[in-house]
Amino acid sequence: MEDVKVKLTFNNEAVIVNMYDNPASRDFLSQLPLTITLEDYAQTEKISYLSKKLTTEKAPSGSEPSAGDFTYYAPWGNLAIFYKDFGYSTGLIKLGKIESGIEKLESIQGNFTVQIEEIN
């Protein structure tokens, strides 16, 4: 799995994410394309609950996210897309990193629908 990217499309905008090669990322990619609703959480991240939990095989016990991290929070079963740095979180698995468009996520208020698809 090399140079795999996904595109998040919303409000005529696009955010591109470089995906990491790990079991949770591969599990997430197998569910694409997806349409989800993102909501703001703690003025730090956008989250959405997935209909199917991702694997935690070979995952670290947690991680310390920074702005641009595309992650999965295993205890709650949700995607968490960080637009601000945050402290260490047990159960947080990094799936990828935003390469462009992070400012578009931060500026949106309220819930919004996002289409996620793999791109080449």
Better-scored residue on pLDDT, 60 or 1 = 60
What is the arithmetic mean of pLDDT over 109-116? Answer: 95
Q: What is the structure's pLDDT at 97?
A: 98
| Bigger pLDDT: 106 vs 49 | 49
pLDDT digits (tens, 9 = 90+) for 65-97: 999 999 999 999 999 999 999 999 999 999 999
SS3 annotation, the chain = CCCCEEEEEECCEEEEEEECCCHHHHHHHCCCCEEEEEEEECCCEEEEECCCCCCCCCCCCEECCCCCEEEEECCCCEEEEECCCCCCEECEEEEEEEEECHHHHHHCCCCEEEEEEEEC
pLDDT computed for residue 1 by the predictor: 61
Q: 22: domain range?
A: 5-119
Total domains in the fold of the chain = 1
- Across the chain, what does the average pLDDT equal? 95
Query: What's 89's domain CATH number?
Result: 2.40.100.20
- Could you read off the pLDDT of 20-39 as tens digits, one per residue? 999 999 999 999 999 999 99
Residue 120 reports pLDDT greater than 90: no
Share of the chain above pLDDT 90, in %: 92
Compute the average pLDDT of residues 59-63: 96
- 33 cis-preceded (ω within 30 degrees of 0): yes
Distance of CA 21 to the CA centre of its chain: 14
